[in-house]
Amino acid sequence: MAHKIIADKCISCGCCKDACPAEAIAEGNPYTIDAEKCMDCGVCASQCPNEAITAE
């Protein structure tokens, strides 16, 4: 199951995108995670300073 970004918590800082080994995160406001590319490793969530990423 892919991780998801909680839109109202995302500050579009880019920490998650820079950390993603699968390059599954796209810039935007909010950023988005491509479920097809996401490896569900959780690195993005661990790097998010605003706790805006969840595993659902």
pTM: 0.90
Q: How far apart are CA 27 and CA 43, in angstroms?
A: 17
Q: Is 54 helix (H, G, I), strand (E, B) or coil?
A: strand
Count of other CB atoms within 10 angstroms of residue 25: 23
pLDDT of residue 1: 75
pLDDT tens sequence across 6-52: 999 999 999 999 999 999 999 999 999 999 999 999 999 999 999 99
CATH hierarchy code of domain 3-55:
3.30.70.20
Exposed e or buried b for every residue in 3-17, given b needs 16+ CB within 10 A? bbbeeeebeeeebbb
